[in-house]
Structure 1
Amino acid sequence: MKILTKLTVCLVLSAAAAFGAGTYVGAGAGYWIDSEDMVFNARVGFDVAQQGNLTHAIELEGYSGEDDEGRGIKLRLAGALVNYRLTVDLNAPLYVSFGAGLGATRAKLRGYWYAGTDNAFTYQAIATLGYRITPQFSVEASARYLNIGKVDFSREKIGDDVSAELGVKYHF
């Protein structure tokens, strides 16, 4: 899990450096409300169009999290998504963004008598309030709805969750 997270961060930073202007990177940490566990994410985004105070962007995002089910059972999740984001500049330093994403999650379940790994279709919706400290650097507070589909080892959906997150974003 740690290796996947480090690899995702390295890929995101490399892609951002390669594309230059209109490109940004971001990272965040949050808390899944239902499962009561931490989640971490990293992303690289590309501004594709700007109309007045509206900016349209496409992002590549990776996330990882762990859910301790108790009784020695752990569910580890790592996913990759492609997101669309619409950012609205409110006043000089403030902005809001709304987005949605599609992707896949790799789920690993480990317990005393069982271990399994499978992939699941994943989708999400994101809302963010951001504050630009400089023209390039921002801090953000986000709310995210994440839905992870069915996996073979459980014969049912892993489920959905909502997270509250804090993060940073750097525009090149």
Structure 2
Amino acid sequence: MIRAVTTFGYVGLLRPAPGTWGSAVALALGLAIDHLLGFPALVLATVAVTALGFWACQQALRDRPGDDPSEIVIDEVAGQWIALLFPAAAFWSRGVQDWWLTAYPGWVAAFVFFRLFDIWKPSLVGRADRRGDPAGVMLDDLWAGLFAGVAVIVAAAVAHGVVMS
């Protein structure tokens, strides 16, 4: 069961680039949750997958200090959903439903920025990654998701002329 959780239903076994596969599947599932159940359900799902991820990584890596196997993608799911929360919250607060159909730059940007920060590992993302413990496996992706979410909002503000030069 631990492996099914850490690989997010064995998505982490897909090659090449299991982290990108995990993020892509997470994005599709996150959009489906937002569409079918609403933004509050996406928030709850994000909290649940994050808690589950911390627990599962602790169990899977307890005897493997410093290990961060590429097939563990539950961390990408949590981080990708955090990034997705930003555009989802913006549209939900304005009463816009099914935003993903017409506002595709929001979810595409959440995906691209998340992958960028997860691979690049700037600042707090890299510091969390260097912890070398199960919590670090999760934390670097949570920070990457937060950075990506902020980047999505900044990009939207620039694209829509909210930020003046």
**TM over 0.5, yes or no?**
no
Higher relative contact order (CA 8 A, sep 6+): 2
Higher strand fraction: Structure 1 or Structure 2?
A: 1
Higher helix fraction: Structure 1 or Structure 2?
A: 2
* TM-score, normalised relative to structure 1: 0.26
